[in-house]
Each structure stands twice: as C-alpha cells, then as structure tokens.
Amino acid sequence: MLSNSMSDSSAALARIDGYPLPRRCRRSATFISSLLVGGWILGVSFGALAQAPGPPEANHVWGGCVLTSDAVTELRDSLTTPDVEGGLPEDPLPQVDFVIVYSLKNNNDGQALGEAFTGPILCRNSGTVTIDTTTEDTPIPPVEDQENDVTVDIEGTEEALFLQYHRSDAIDAAEREKRVCHTVAGHTDCFLIKPDTD
C-alpha cells in the first residue's frame, strides 16, 4: 500500500523538475492523492474500454509497434555491451517488455506520416506483454471490478520531462536539442540529447 501521506503525495505531484504546476493542476494532484490513498484510481469517464491500438495518426502517440524477436535480442545485447564502459550483467538476462521510440529531428518526437508527424512510438515485446489503449481518467481497476471489492496497491510512480529547444547559435535552423529527466524512486537523472556532429 502507499507509504506516503496524502499531503506528501500532493507535494510531490505539485512540482515537475522543480517548476510549480498551475493551481488547477495542484488541486488535481490533491484529488488524485486522496484517491491513491483510498486504494482506487477513479475517473469521470466510465465508458472508456481498453482496446488494441489502431493505425498511426498524426499528432498522436502510436502504440501498435511490435518488436521482432531479433529486435529484442539486439536490445538485450545493447544493454549488456554498450558503447561506453560498463553495462548490465548478462545473468539474469535483461528484461525487454516495451520501448518508446523518440526522434530528435522530427516534430512531436515522432515519425513522418505524409506531411505531418506522429508522436513517439510505443513498441512491445509480443512474447511478454500486450498493449491496449485507455484514457487518463479511466478507473483503475475497472468499475465492474470495483463493484466486486477489487482494489489496487500503488507500487510506484515515475515522472518524465522532455524539454525540446533550439539554440540561437545553431548552424542548422532545424537543429534541436532535448533535455530528458526521469524520476525513479525519488532520484532524478537528466540527460542532454543533441545531434552527433562527429
């Protein structure tokens, strides 16, 4: 079950990367915290049912990508033998369940789709997980399960921030850089991603 108090959860949700959220979002954070402590994550839309992702659309994240077994193997090899010194041990075998593909050059972090761009692409390992679409206000667990006294234990939350920008001294007008920050278990790690000019 949750170990944080409601006020602690609200404070954590009220800031992203050191920047305060708007007051409306803070109220939402307090509301969400009360639901988490209660063991349910409730939503206002009860009619949204999970379904398999459809075809890619412009300006939307697409979740229909499926990794081949060769791709999963290549990813595991990359995790254990990176270009830099170090890497994960080969035993136990690294777990690759899903990955998100971002593009630095393209709009939306996505891929070209006609004259527009998708958002990032979510790819799954078909041998270990399934991916369905849902909404941010869909109840967890579903309403029919809640009616049978099913609850959930929140085991953890993660926050990610992707800040894309263009430097005024960039040689290429379309050149972009991105700062990526991800918070896990209370620790925030940030990385600068920029074009490789070597």
Domains of the chain, residue spans: 1-46+135-155, 51-133, 158-198
Sorting pLDDT into bands at 50, 70 and 90, what band is 83? low
The pLDDT, as a whole number, for residue 180 is 95
Sorting pLDDT into bands at 50, 70 and 90, what band is 118? very high
Instruction: Specify the DSSP class assigned to residue 44.
Output: S
Most confident of 31-40, 76-85, 127-136, 164-173: 127-136
User: Could you give the C-alpha distances from 117 to 12, 52, 104, 114, 134, in angstroms and in order?
Assistant: 33, 21, 12, 7, 22
Residue for token pair 């075998």: 93
Across residues 124-152, what is the average pLDDT?
88
Q: Is the pLDDT of residue 154 over 90?
A: no
Q: What percent of the chain has pLDDT over 70?
A: 72
Q: Which one, of 142, 146, 100, lies nearest residue 122 by Cα?
A: 100
Q: Which one, of 66, 120, 119, 70, lies nearest residue 97 by Cα?
A: 66
If one compares 8 and 97, the residue with the highest pLDDT of the two is: 97
Q: Which one, of 33, 41, 43, lies nearest residue 3 by Cα?
A: 33
Across residues 109-130, what is the average pLDDT?
95
The pLDDT, as a whole number, for residue 108 is 92
If one compares 25 and 155, the residue with the highest pLDDT of the two is: 155
Per-residue pLDDT of 1-10, as tens digits, reads: 333 333 343 3
The pLDDT, as a whole number, for residue 157 is 84
Across residues 145-160, what is the average pLDDT?
86
